[in-house]
Structure 1
């Protein structure tokens, strides 16, 4: 069953005509901002300029006004870049606040993130004055009970898997913020199951747009350095196994060919140096 927060999100995303919450007088103007923090306890330390903070902050922003009948709408919801910030918490708070227009209302979204709120609160960022919706709590109210005693696992990974939503490289703040926003959209759409079918037809097109955003393909990601090293190690191991299966004459021939190629490369390099 949808709670008041879910009904408010329905209204915000254009999935209802009537207001379900007196708390938001102009929900059509709200931005949805998901927040995530890894190693958030680092931000609660004393703010000293020379102290290195090993932590991550992630924000993902969705403007419901962009949910138009456009085929390219899904391209607006993609991953950005990660940056190393060498700055004081005060400057970081100002940077975060500058992203959010003063003229817009905001609903903050997180996934079971009390620790995240504590970390962001230590920055004294002004946008923390806005209401906070927890996708973990929304999931408890929206998703069906699996059996009499146990509900769907409430981790971000398991809930995304439950909806067959694409994800990768969790526990990176930027990624988690992005996937939490996707999960939120899917939960709101799923909550429409308690709406009579005749009314569902009215926003069928909007539901398709929202699902297209949530299920948008992931961008091509570069492999982690340790993944590349693993592939190279496996390749060297494969070559050794192949060499062992060959006779001594074949091994000697392969080694001679490799030595010849190394000499040719060295000779070419020396010629290039001499001509400069």
Structure 2
């Protein structure tokens, strides 16, 4: 028997046998998170029999609904989403916040319900139903040194002592409320340390609510959600509190859309409406300080060139006017002198004159 034949009959090493006999690893399951279930309940496609990973269905508060007798018979829970985001946070040694920026965005389900009864396609103006705010708390000098990238309204600078009152005044017309944030822990901690209660009935973390519809095992960044959902966003707009709060609500609408597309055979009539709002074009992006300075330089250069052009035109007009003037006639004295010279030139020597 040849060495090759002998080696081919030898038993395989134990390491290889173990690898071949190891069963395939079970696929990790993506569990349904509370935020996703809340969205199903709010938008009318909650099914207590379809809650993978849940031992028992949740209990729901008694909330009124939006409904009209005319078609489409869309029925939402009559609630208001309040998205909060915080950036530029500074704290004391004991953890008490002393300076930060807070973004607030507000979206009512009755406004969404109203769009479902408007003719489709929806215009850009109709999709502008998310109210957004950016407040710089105890940071009045920030915008003197930094660019304002908030593109959904005007920023404000407010004192920390006035924050709670401003929030209560802003949110007073909107109840009941659902608190929304992308990665909600920091916002929850800051509000608790400031003893500010927004009286929300639920909280939705869009980072976790997106897991099941996207079948993601881990939380996604807000940027990734915007990319996955085709929500327009310029690179420099994120990590600015007012913008992030606004984009969190757009992402929330698309989480509901993606979940409905995954779970339902017959899509609700609100799906294209939510997509139109979430994927609507952005308003004009605020100019940076460098861009504003460049515009001023171009304006000064244009003014200088305009002035030079004006001066050249004035000189050109003067030259044309000068050329158009008739030649001046010689004076009588000059004429007599010329006649005398002509006479002298014509005198002949033989004339003896």
Per the normalisation by structure 1, the TM-score is 0.69
Displacement of 1:216: 1.0
1:13 aligns with 43
Q: Tell me if structure 2 keeps the 8 A contact 1:59–1:174.
A: yes
Displacement of 1:18: 7.8
The 5-angstrom pairing of residues 50-199 of structure 1 reads 53=99, 55-67=100-112, 68=114, 69-70=117-118, 71=122, 73-77=126-130, 79=132, 80-87=152-159, 89-101=160-172, 104-127=175-198, 130-145=201-216, 151=217, 154-168=220-234, 169-197=237-265
Displacement of 1:15: 4.3
Q: Say whether 1:23 aligns with 2:81.
A: no
2:7 aligns with none
1:216 aligns with 280
Distance 1:16 1:124, change over 3 A: same
Displacement of 1:83: 2.9
Displacement of 1:36: 0.1
1:227 aligns with 291
Select the structure with the greater relative contact order (CA < 8 A; seq sep ≥ 6): 1
Q: Tell me if structure 1 keeps the 8 A contact 2:176–2:200.
A: no
Per the normalisation by structure 2, the TM-score is 0.56
2:143 aligns with none
Displacement of 1:38: 0.4
Counterpart Cα distance in 1 of 2:306 and 2:246:
51
Structure with more strand by fraction: 2
Unaligned runs of 5+ in 1: 48-52, 146-150, 240-256, 266-276
1:242 aligns with none
RMSD of aligned residue pairs (Cα, Å): 3.5
Q: Tell me if structure 1 keeps the 8 A contact 2:82–2:104.
A: yes
1:250 aligns with none
Q: Say whether 1:261 aligns with 2:325.
A: no
Q: Tell me if structure 2 keeps the 8 A contact 1:94–1:125.
A: no
